[in-house]
Amino acid sequence: MHSATAGQWQEDAAQVSGVRAFLAGMEFTRDPIRAVERYHRRFGSAIAFAYGAPGRPARIRSILLLGPTYNREILTNTDSLRPSGLWSVPGPRGSVQRAMKFSYVTASGAEHTELARTLGPHLSRPRVDSHFEAIRDITVRGVAGWPVGERVDLYSLARQVGQHAAFTLLFGESDLERVCTFGKQLADYHRANWQFRSYLRLRIPGMPYEDVLSRAERLRDFVSKWVDERRGCPASQDLRAAFVAHRNGKGEPLTAEQLAAHLNFLGWAAYETMSSTLSWTVFLLALHPNVHGDLADELAAAPPVATISQERLAALPLLDAVVKEALRLVPPTPMLVWRTIRDWETGSLRLTRGTRIALSPHVTHRIPEIYPEPRRFRPDRWSRIKPTQYEYLPFGAGPRRCPGYGFANEFLKVALAAFVPRFRLDASPGVRIDRVYWGITMPKPGIPVRLLPQDRSFRPMRATGDIRELVDVDDVS
């Protein structure tokens, strides 16, 4: 399937229309990972979904394109396409919720170029390198404070450390109470946006839709006060200062609503992708005691994580491979949804403005010709393969690849280097670990475990739940 030529999809696309298209939409809403696998098996790598009123011709509203060639074709076409927004619950005209739909990720053309120029220096390789010791110190202290012997939610602990590192180093916020407050507000707002009931636009106090609107306003008020602390500061100081100093092509500053949209999206994306990936990586190690033991050996032979240099950390091959393999099996963004920003004619298809085009890193990462035994957690594969950016895209690819990838990669390596020598996971037999897709793949409701001292008793953790659909694990008696 992955060998299709560019542009071939418009001739080869299977078409799903009418009631079948509506039912497909419901499937993707409930569980897009399961749905994309099913439709890929049934229809192939190019599927067009067409809708229309009774008695009228169906019109293509969504297209699913799967594989590296399609990834390249779409992700490089920034003239006609842009990513979809993260928070899509409609808001009344003039509302904060309406503004929140148009953040950095949805900007296109000159607006995106201007915003990228503001954001870029703070996530550049030199800037991330300059943060390394601070990333290391914050993360090591955070992980060292995790309670030994107690029942905990691993995901919540990972979130706390991820928020501390991201908000301190990228946004200049050193007050941990404010870090927790902002992080909780963002998490609650995000969860509310991804509840189907929130799309029922009932302006009644206590209803989900009204809750989303209220949360958006509270976030706007928080961010307005938060960024006021940076007015007059040099744009190089941190992301708050950079966006306060930002001016568009007309020399106009961002409004309070625009600042809220951009900084809320960047704040949530900065910590959530790192935190969820750290949780899944530790979980995968707990399912695979041989890999866990080998990684413990590699880290035991390295300098202590509290003093390790960036160069020495980068030179640990298994640590690097474990991070890559975890991102392959459970990419933070298993679906990349883009929209046409103008009518777009391509081959035999005419797509109207607003047509959704969905790609799937999840499916791409499971192409057996690229990744043999694709459902297996095999970090050793990374010593033999070197996929292109369109074959391996846990954080997207092309001109709109997530700019925070370098920061996240450093955090994940440090966090694992701090965790593995100190802890191992223990869970009740048959503990259930489920996943939910709310923009990224998150543990639902969390990962309940007990943290035990690392005694090198590497036994596979027994777990059930739909997360096991993503990885094949040998049964060990």
Residue 134 CA to residue 145 CA, distance in Å, equals: 17
427: pLDDT confidence band, cut at 50, 70 and 90? confident
pLDDT, averaged across the chain: 92
Is the pLDDT confidence value at 26 over 50?
yes
192-210 residue pLDDT tens: 999 989 998 888 888 999 9
Q: Which CATH architecture has domain 9-469?
A: Orthogonal Bundle (1.10)
What whole-number distance in Å separates Cα of residue 94 and Cα of residue 200? 19
Query: Once rounded to an integer, what is the mean pLDDT over residues 145-149?
Result: 95
Residue 452 has pLDDT above 50, yes or no: yes
Q: Where are the beta strands (DSSP E) in 19-77?
A: 46-51, 59-65
**DSSP character at residue 468:** G
Q: Is the pLDDT of residue 476 over 60?
A: no
Handedness of CA 391, 396, 398, 404 (dihedral sign): negative
Give per-residue pLDDT as tens, 164-191.
Answer: 999 999 999 989 999 999 999 999 999 9
Nearest to 290 by CA among 380, 419, 422: 380
Contact predicate 89/378, CB 8 Å? no
In whole angstroms, give the CA distance from residue 65 to residue 13.
9
What are the tens digits of pLDDT across the range 231-260?
999 999 999 999 999 999 999 999 999 999
Contact 279, 155 (CB under 8 A): yes
Strands 356-359 and 336-340: antiparallel
Mean pLDDT along residues 213-233 = 96
Torsions phi, psi of 151, nearest 5? Answer: -75, 125
Q: What is the pTM of this model?
A: 0.94
The span from the CA of 178 to the CA of 188, in Å, is 15
Q: What is the pLDDT of residue 15?
A: 87
Take residue 77 and report the two structure tokens written for it: 């076409």
Asked whether the predicted pLDDT for residue 350 surpasses 80, the reply is: no
Could you tell me what percent of the chain has a pLDDT over 70?
Answer: 95
User: pLDDT grade, residue 6 (50/70/90)?
Assistant: very low
The secondary element (H helix, E strand) that includes residue 286 is helix 256-287
